[in-house]
């Protein structure tokens, strides 16, 4: 059997990053159980307080398995499958329209009780595409607007557009923000970036203005108490949960807001339950863990052996960082309410598994960063 020399040179993984990932995942499983137990017990469709715990725990195990698999696969081998993965992702993003909408949005491919959200995959496919293409083009060409910036905006905009058509503006925005970060790291000119930010910003504003429910969310963010039983309800309940927790929290499992006050407390607003039950201390621990993850991701990107590794590490780290920032900002009332899950912690199988696969790729890059 022939051994790949690059594989033989692999060192140990970045242990601080690995530990951080596992801690966030463990916190997520525990908090999903705590946040969902009341709803799951009294819901006629489940009637089992451990319903969401069992599912999230299973997805955590599956995600961990696949993370270990991707840790062992040389990240450079992914390059030759990029085009195939891009096509598969587009097919998945189109298939969702064949399924019934949920709360007015078509984001899921469902087979029985199992659901898959292709937009979670799209974020990372864009990262892999940009890393591969920019490495092939070379650093100097990225400085041009026509050849170095616009093509990536068109491709990323295409994927973001498909996600946006699913009524998922938040993930579409994440895709475009990560695109801008990768372009900046690759050496795109500031003047070009400012122009792009302006165009993307106008697109986001248009997406808000022409959808009444998004406009309602935006205005409620400015003053949620103007409509406390309508568009401002969710944010007000979130702030009540955070305020009730104080510094030390009310204790694990003792949240009141999860008792049908915060809708779906185990998903996008799980950080509120962390604040209520574990207090400022618990929230700080979670934030510090995300800071450590981003720090290690940046270190891995800097020390990567090649441009491809640097850009893949940058993109993966950016996806997690942008989502965490948006989610926490929404929950604390710093920006309009939007449906971005908190990575590794919010309930959701496809999100957790795909994030952990991406972390496996990042850890694989770290195994090779000491060489070359």
- What are the pLDDT tens digits along the chain (372 aa)? 344 444 545 678 999 999 999 999 999 999 999 999 999 998 877 889 999 999 999 999 999 999 999 999 999 999 999 999 999 999 999 999 988 777 667 788 887 777 889 999 999 999 999 999 999 887 677 878 888 888 999 999 999 999 999 888 889 999 999 999 999 999 888 887 887 778 777 877 777 777 776 677 677 778 888 888 887 899 999 999 999 999 999 999 999 999 989 988 999 999 999 999 999 999 999 999 999 999 999 999 999 999 999 999 999 999 999 999 999 999 998 888 888 999 999 999 999 999 999 999 999 999 987 544
Please name which of 296, 278, 288 lies closest in space to residue 359, comparing C-alpha atoms: 296
How far is the C-alpha of 206 from the C-alpha of 245, rounded, in Å? 37
How far is the C-alpha of 356 from the C-alpha of 173, rounded, in Å? 21
Contact 359, 67 (CB under 8 A): yes
pLDDT at 293: 98
pLDDT at 53: 95
The per-type count for the chain, helices as H runs and strands as E runs, is 13, 2
Contact 54, 350 (CB under 8 A): no
Task: At 96, list the tokens.
Answer: 């969702």
pLDDT at 187: 85
Please name which of 272, 244, 273 lies closest in space to residue 332, comparing C-alpha atoms: 272
End-to-end CA distance of the chain: 25
- Domain around 181: 5-368
Instruction: Compute the 3-state secondary structure of the chain and give helix, strand, coil in percent, each to the nearest 5.
Output: 70, 0, 25
Number of domains composing the chain: 1
How far is the C-alpha of 130 from the C-alpha of 120, rounded, in Å? 17
Q: Is the dihedral of CA 338, 340, 341, 343 positive or negative?
A: negative
How far is the C-alpha of 75 from the C-alpha of 358, rounded, in Å? 10
Q: Is 115 helix (H, G, I), strand (E, B) or coil?
A: strand
How far is the C-alpha of 267 from the C-alpha of 339, rounded, in Å? 9
Indicate the burial class of 196 (C-beta count within 10 angstroms; 0-12, 13-18, 19 or more).
Answer: buried
């Amino acid at each position: 059997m022939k051994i790949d020399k690059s594989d033989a040179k692999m060192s140990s993984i970045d242990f601080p990053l690995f530990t951080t990932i596992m801690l966030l995942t463990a916190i997520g499983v525990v908090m999903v159980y705590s946040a969902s137990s009341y709803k799951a017990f009294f819901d006629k469709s489940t009637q089992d307080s451990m319903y969401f715990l069992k599912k999230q725990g299973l997805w955590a195990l599956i995600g961990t398995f696949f993370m270990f698999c991707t840790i062992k696969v040389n990240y450079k081998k992914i390059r030759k499958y990029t085009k195939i993965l891009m096509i598969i992702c587009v097919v998945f993003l189109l298939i969702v329209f064949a399924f019934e909408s949920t709360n007015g949005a078509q984001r899921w491919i469902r087979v029985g009780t199992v659901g898959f959200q292709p937009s979670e995959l799209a974020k990372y496919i864009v990262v892999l595409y940009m890393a591969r293409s920019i490495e092939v083009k070379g650093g100097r060409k990225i400085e041009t607007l026509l050849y170095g910036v616009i093509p990536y905006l068109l491709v990323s905009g295409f994927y973001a557009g498909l996600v946006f058509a699913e009524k998922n503006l938040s993930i579409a925005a994440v895709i475009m923000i990560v695109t801008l970060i990768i372009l900046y790291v690759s050496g795109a000119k500031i003047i070009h970036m400012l122009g792009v930010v302006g165009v993307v910003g106008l697109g986001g504003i248009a997406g808000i203005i022409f959808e009444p429910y998004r406009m309602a969310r935006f205005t409620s963010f400015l003053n949620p108490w103007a409509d406390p039983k309508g568009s401002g309800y969710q944010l007000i309940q979130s702030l009540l949960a955070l305020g009730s927790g104080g510094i030390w929290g009310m204790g694990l499992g003792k949240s009141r807001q999860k008792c049908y006050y915060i809708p779906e407390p185990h998903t996008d607003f799980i950080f509120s339950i962390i604040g209520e039950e574990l207090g400022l201390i618990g929230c700080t621990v979670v934030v510090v863990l995300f800071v450590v993850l981003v720090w290690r991701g940046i270190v891995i990107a800097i020390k990567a052996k090649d441009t491809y590794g640097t850009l893949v590490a940058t993109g993966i780290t950016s996806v997690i960082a942008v989502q965490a920032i948006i989610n926490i900002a929404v929950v604390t009332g710093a920006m309009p309410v939007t449906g971005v899950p908190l990575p590794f912690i919010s309930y959701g199988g496809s999100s957790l598994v795909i994030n952990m696969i991406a972390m496996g790729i990042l850890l694989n890059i770290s195994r090779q960063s000491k060489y070359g």
